Chains A and B, each alone.
Chain A
Amino acid sequence: MIRLERRPTPSRFWTGATPVLAVIATMIAGGILFAALGKNPVEAIRTIFWDPLFGQFASYSRPQLLVKAAPLILIAVGLSFGFRAGIWNIGAEGQYIIGAIFGAAMALAFYPMDAVIVFPLMVLAGAAGGLAWAMIPAVLKIRFNTSEILVSLMLVYVAGHILSAMAFGALRNPEGMGFPGSRNLQQYPAAHNAELIAGSGLHWGTVTAFLAVIVAYVVMQRHILGFQIRVAGEAPRAARFAGVNPARLTAICLGTSGALAGLAGLFEVSGPSGQITPDFASGYGFTAIIVAFLGRLNPLGILLAGLLMALTYIGGELAQLTLALPAAAIQAFQGMLLFFLLAFDMLSNFRIRIGRPEGAQ
């Protein structure tokens, strides 16, 4: 009989090896899928995983990987704090939206004033928006013991409707010929989150994402807060004795993830996206949850997972363009990759034993 036995601590070897195994397994399963669709599987896999990095136009797509991965990483790093402490913010999408709305509203309030202060104020507004939106589930949890999973999820839909109302109402571009959507912040220099070095993919959002990874790593390893978070997640009862204040921890974890998600929204709306439109939200907040888990809730892991996720998006686009693979096949392929990564994760936390356990009835 095969059974699983929980490891006392996650295996270091398997923690590193499982992502590689999962990617290989996905390549095999995906190859079968692509072959079934009548495409050359080797070519398809190469287009998705290789071409964006080393293909003919990699000089363009490599920086784009950073642009695409930045919001994912920024949000996922924030989420990882809470997830480690057993505090489940799954409403990052809503915090991302509200951060973008706050930031864009700040910019539009100053339009067309050309002042250095505009962008920093937008950054503050974006973080404050995300923070405020995340504090709703935090306060309700602290005060009424309401499930933060469910409240934060509900608030995503509310944020979506607010976004639509803003794009059609308060933030609508007065010179937009009656179409929905705000002014394009890319055309408002004081508010534009432009690339810091042209063609590098580095804008303030990418930089902040990298900073967040480093800070999160240090906090988690070296700071008392990191210790408290880990204790709260692994041994909630012991945490009380260790002097962890659960209300404070809830507020910190939800607040941090909300502020970072809000920042991600702000950097996106002022940079790559440029506008508040009814379709501004494209699921980064949800994808980031997956990224957080793929990265094993570890900041460095999240960095790699975010880049891997971005690779499948951009590689998937290339595969559509050059091989005429349907977008649906790419979506299913991404789904498979996630399944394999999640399934193989077991190997790092469990040992597979063959035979009956000792002392079993």
Chain B
Amino acid sequence: MIGSIDPVLLVASLMIASTPILLAAIGEMVVEKAGVLNLGVEGMMIVGAICGFIAAVKTGSPLAGFLGGALAGAAMAALFALLTQVFQSNQVATGLALTLFGLGLSSLIGQGYNGIRPPATARLDLGPLSDIPVLGRMLFSHDWMVYASLGLVAAVWAFLRYSRAGLILRAVGESHDAAHALGYRVVRIRVLALMFGGACAGLGGAYLSLVRVPQWTEGMTAGAGWIALAIVVFASWKAGRVLLGAYLFGGVTVLQLNLQAAGVAIPVQYLSMAPYLITILVLVVISADRSRVALNAPAMLGRNFHASR
């Protein structure tokens, strides 16, 4: 019965299913690399979902929708930045409050937008590529945001690895005092990282409301933002592994549903726990080796910085 699952279609559908969490996770990874833990991803995502939805419906353009979602997510992140970077509030508590606020705010903004269909996001025409047997259907037949998200992962990877700005960002996450002593503007860098993370989360939310679902309903992110947080940890703060993690987390859901549809009896709840347990395992493995953990987890994660001198 398992043989009746077509791996080509499985990969194709898991790529789409994973895109929202991939976008949110890659943004959060940059934030955490800068040493900030923002637990408000869910809140930023859902505000991005509704604002993106409204922008797309009002203008008739999905592109405007994605921009709107990104801007709204960034605005939410700016609020978080104001509280944690300027007012020095605790990051964990502020992030949780941001999620609470975002869920409420999005429902308020979204009243009157139920039951509407947003403008369709075009499939990217890759010409002959999508006609390649197997690979064409698997990889080259998606909407353009899927490729944009992959491009974003590559860009973040290159940025952190090769650019000077990326190096500074990582330095801020490793030791804000040292970075400050070297003359870098710790707070400014963190605010920018946060806004980028918020924009990514907003994009992920907009992808849900414009492509994945597409509709607006309250609470539609249904925990995707929390999964994004798990993915960052699973990935041990590496861009490439964020992609892997997003496909694993998204893939487990898709796979269990496909197994069911193929008539295989599976214990759904236990399978759904698996990615989280694997994440813990990964975490243990990377933490146990102290030389490697230094390269991965940002040392200043979750700590506030205040320039005393």
Q: Which residues of B contact A150 (CB under 8 A)?
A: 233, 279, 283
Smallest CB separation, B182 vs chain A (Å):
14
**Which of chain A's residues has its CB closest to B82's CB?**
A343
| Partner among A6, A329, A345 whose Cβ is within 8 Å of the Cβ of B104 | A329
Q: Which residues of B contact A331 (CB under 8 A)?
A: 100-101, 103-104, 107
The reply to whether A335 and B100 contact each other, CB–CB distance below 8 Å, is: yes
- Most chain B beta-carbon neighbours within 10 Å: one of A161, A292, A333: A161
Q: Given contacts A155-B280, A338-B97, is CB(A162)–CB(B104) below 8 Å?
A: no
Q: Which of A115-155 contact B (CB under 8 A)?
A: 140, 144-147, 149-151, 153-155
Q: Which of B90-111 contact A (CB under 8 A)?
A: 90, 92-94, 96-98, 100-108, 111
Which stretch, B12-20, B61-69, B118-126, B267-275, touches the partner chain A? Answer: B267-275
The reply to whether A338 and B87 contact each other, CB–CB distance below 8 Å, is: no
Q: Which residues of A contact B283 (CB under 8 A)?
A: 140, 146-147, 150-151, 154
Tell me if B58 is interfacial: C-beta within 8 Å of chain A. Answer: no
CA distance A294 to B100 in the complex (A): 15
The reply to whether B83 and A342 contact each other, CB–CB distance below 8 Å, is: yes
The reply to whether B270 and A338 contact each other, CB–CB distance below 8 Å, is: no
**Which of chain B's residues has its CB closest to A157's CB?**
B276
The reply to whether B87 and A343 contact each other, CB–CB distance below 8 Å, is: yes
Smallest CB separation, B269 vs chain A (Å):
4
Interface size on B, residues (CB 8 A): 51
| Partner among A5, A147, A158 whose Cβ is within 8 Å of the Cβ of B287 | A147
Instruction: Fill in one digit per residue for A288-310: 1 if any B CB lies within 8 Å of its CB, else 0.
Output: 01101110000000000000000
**Which of chain B's residues has its CB closest to A350's CB?**
B88
| Partner among A146, A292, A294 whose Cβ is within 8 Å of the Cβ of B284 | A146
The reply to whether B104 and A293 contact each other, CB–CB distance below 8 Å, is: no
The reply to whether B104 and A157 contact each other, CB–CB distance below 8 Å, is: no
Instruction: Fill in one digit per residue for B256-287: 1 if any A CB lies within 8 Å of its CB, else 0.
Output: 00000000000101101100110110011001
CA distance A223 to B241 in the complex (A): 46
Q: Which residues of B contact A286 (CB under 8 A)?
A: 96
Smallest CB separation, A266 vs chain B (Å):
22
CA distance A334 to B94 in the complex (A): 12
Tell me if B11 is interfacial: C-beta within 8 Å of chain A. Answer: no
Q: Which residues of A contact B105 (CB under 8 A)?
A: 328, 332, 335
Q: Which of A153-190 contact B (CB under 8 A)?
A: 153-155, 157-158, 161-162, 164-165, 168
CA distance A262 to B82 in the complex (A): 35
Q: Which of A313-335 contact B (CB under 8 A)?
A: 326-335
Tell me if B240 is interfacial: C-beta within 8 Å of chain A. Answer: no
Instruction: Fill in one digit per residue for B282-304: 1 if any A CB lies within 8 Å of its CB, else 0.
Output: 01100110100100010001100
Q: Which of A258-291 contact B (CB under 8 A)?
A: 286-287, 289-290
The reply to whether B104 and A342 contact each other, CB–CB distance below 8 Å, is: no
The reply to whether A342 and B230 contact each other, CB–CB distance below 8 Å, is: no
**Which of chain B's residues has its CB closest to A168's CB?**
B269
The reply to whether B269 and A345 contact each other, CB–CB distance below 8 Å, is: no
Instruction: Fill in one digit per residue for A249-265: 1 if any B CB lies within 8 Å of its CB, else 0.
Output: 00000000000000000
The reply to whether A157 and B230 contact each other, CB–CB distance below 8 Å, is: yes
Q: Given contacts A326-B107, A330-B104, A332-B108, is CB(A342)–CB(B92) below 8 Å?
A: no
Interface of A is mostly: helix
Q: Which residues of B contact A145 (CB under 8 A)?
A: 287-288, 290, 293
The reply to whether A346 and B280 contact each other, CB–CB distance below 8 Å, is: no
Q: Which of A328-361 contact B (CB under 8 A)?
A: 328-336, 338-339, 342-346, 349-350, 357
Tell me if B306 is interfacial: C-beta within 8 Å of chain A. Answer: yes
| Partner among B111, B218, B272, B287 whose Cβ is within 8 Å of the Cβ of A161 | B272
Q: Given contacts A149-B37, A328-B108, is CB(A342)–CB(B94) below 8 Å?
A: yes
Smallest CB separation, B31 vs chain A (Å):
14
Q: Given contacts A286-B96, A334-B104, is CB(A146)–CB(B89) below 8 Å?
A: no
CA distance A153 to B101 in the complex (A): 20
Tell me if A88 is interfacial: C-beta within 8 Å of chain B. Answer: yes
| Partner among B83, B111, B306 whose Cβ is within 8 Å of the Cβ of A339 | B83
The reply to whether A335 and B92 contact each other, CB–CB distance below 8 Å, is: no
Smallest CB separation, A279 vs chain B (Å):
13
**Which of chain B's residues has its CB closest to A140's CB?**
B284
Smallest CB separation, B249 vs chain A (Å):
10
Q: Which of A67-93 contact B (CB under 8 A)?
A: 88, 90
Tell me if A4 is interfacial: C-beta within 8 Å of chain B. Answer: yes
Tell me if B199 is interfacial: C-beta within 8 Å of chain A. Answer: no
| Partner among A140, A161, A294 whose Cβ is within 8 Å of the Cβ of B269 | A161
Tell me if B220 is interfacial: C-beta within 8 Å of chain A. Answer: no
Q: Which residues of B contact A326 (CB under 8 A)?
A: 107-108, 111
CA distance A342 to B288 in the complex (A): 35
Smallest CB separation, A166 vs chain B (Å):
9
| Partner among A90, A158, A332 whose Cβ is within 8 Å of the Cβ of B92 | A90
| Partner among B93, B276, B308 whose Cβ is within 8 Å of the Cβ of A342 | B93
- Most chain B beta-carbon neighbours within 10 Å: one of A147, A151, A328: A328
For the complex of A and B, 8 pairs with smallest distance between CB atoms: A335-B101, A331-B104, A328-B107, A332-B104, A338-B97, A342-B89, A165-B269, A293-B93
- Knowing that A287-B96, A329-B104, A332-B105 touch, tell me 14 more A-B residue pairs with CB under 8 angstroms: A4-B306, A140-B287, A145-B293, A146-B280, A146-B283, A289-B96, A290-B96, A326-B107, A326-B111, A328-B104, A332-B108, A334-B100, A342-B87, A342-B89
Question: What are 14 A-B pairs with beta-carbon distances under 8 A?
Answer: A144-B284, A144-B288, A145-B288, A146-B288, A154-B277, A158-B276, A287-B96, A326-B111, A327-B107, A335-B98, A338-B94, A339-B97, A339-B101, A342-B93
